[in-house]
Amino acid sequence: MTQKPETTLATLALNEPHRITDLKGDAIIVSRLREIGFVRGEEVQVRGRMPFGEPLLVEIRGAVVALRKSEAACVRL
């Protein structure tokens, strides 16, 4: 049986709404993401990418937040 690769915010296409299922990664980054609203069940969308692919512009709770790819990779969908 083949495993489906885990979808993260860093790999998400533009303007596709998804719900957060988990946060995994560096404890400091995960803690900061939770503080700004990245919690299980919240809907997120990548609204844009800057040149060279980062930062990503992510919409959550009506606000747009800029995240590095390494930070976005901690957000599981």
* Residue 69 phi, psi dihedral angles, 5° rounding: -60, -40
Percent of the chain at pLDDT > 70 equals 94
Whether 43 is in a domain gets the answer yes
pLDDT digits (tens, 9 = 90+) for 30-77: 999 999 999 999 999 999 999 888 899 999 999 999 999 999 999 999
CB 24 within 8 A of CB 76: yes
Query: Residue 63 is inside which H or E element, if any?
Result: strand 63-67
Q: 43 - beta bridge partners?
A: 19
Domains contained in the chain, number: 1
Lookup: tokens for 54 = 């980062």
Report the CATH number at residue 40.
2.30.30.90
pTM of the model: 0.87
